[in-house]
Amino acid sequence: MRPSEQLSKRKPASRVRAGLAVCCVFAGLHGALAAPAGEAILPLPQAARQDPAKVALGRRLFSDARLSGDKRQSCAACHNPAAAQTRTQAQPRPGMLDAPTVFNAAFNFRLYWDGRAATLEQQAGSAIENPAEMAARWADVLRTVEQDADYRRGFSAAFRDGVTRANIEQAIAAYERTLTTPGSRFDRYLRGDYGAISAAEREGYARFKQAGCVACHQGVNVGGNMYQQLGVMEAYPDRDVAARRFKVPSLRNVARTAPYLHDGSAATLEQAIGIMFRYQLGRPGSKEDQALIAQFLATLSAPPGAQP
């Protein structure tokens, strides 16, 4: 079945149009939903080529716990390569937000749940000193890196001015820009391979659109390009987030990045879908809706692309 044939007769058109308008006005992104062939979701592009020397440094820095204040916490501790670059524990510590995946983060319009970082470099730099993350001081980090002979050689080869804060940030960001996952089954489907997803997965995609999920989860990252309030149609019960906006998370590889929501409180994808139906869409989602949409979302998973 072709993408343009996905909407069934059950589509509540007025609800979807209203949802699209609400989310787009909220985000200030009136033209964000335009896409070829009427599709709001676009295939993920290949990652831009990065300097292999900088990527190699960034990969090592990303997993180096010596960059943290207690020498025990690395970037990879919260962005675990074995768990689709996200956290593995069921829930973050009290007061902390769950760690979004770094996969495809280069395609997000902002970083962090509140969008306070505009670039991957800025995010990497702020994480070093954040007491809830690396809890280090840049002076100590620079000293640690400078005292490591392998790092000194690597930075001298990759950067004219050797070890600096800006260069550490650039190296980590260069590595993170290689962490993209093009070529999912759904991307193949969007490019014309209509047998790449099953009938049940196509139905899940149809329901994803019918419900209005695509109003906020669209574009190449199936999200990651606007802010949204948690609790649009009904007040969310967590008083700490009652009137807060969050960056809409990407749904790429979402089947592999449990737990879900800002606080990691949804253990399963179906549970998270049910919560979204209630608080964002204003109606209950049936068990069948949840199961079929979860099947569709699994088609967005793919392994990382080729890296330098």
- Catalytic residue numbers read 133
Q: List 247's β-bridge partners, or say none.
A: 227
Q: Are 291 and 126 in contact (CB under 8 A)?
A: no
* 218, two tokens: 């669209």
Spatial separation of the C-alpha atoms in residues 59 and 79, rounded to whole Å: 12
Q: How big, in percent rounded to 5, are the helix, strand and coil portions of the chain?
A: 45, 5, 50
Residue from 124, 72, 130 nearest 102 by CA = 124
Spatial separation of the C-alpha atoms in residues 186 and 47, rounded to whole Å: 18
Residue from 128, 166, 168, 127 nearest 148 by CA = 168
* 254, two tokens: 């979402």
Spatial separation of the C-alpha atoms in residues 26 and 121, rounded to whole Å: 27
Spatial separation of the C-alpha atoms in residues 128 and 185, rounded to whole Å: 36
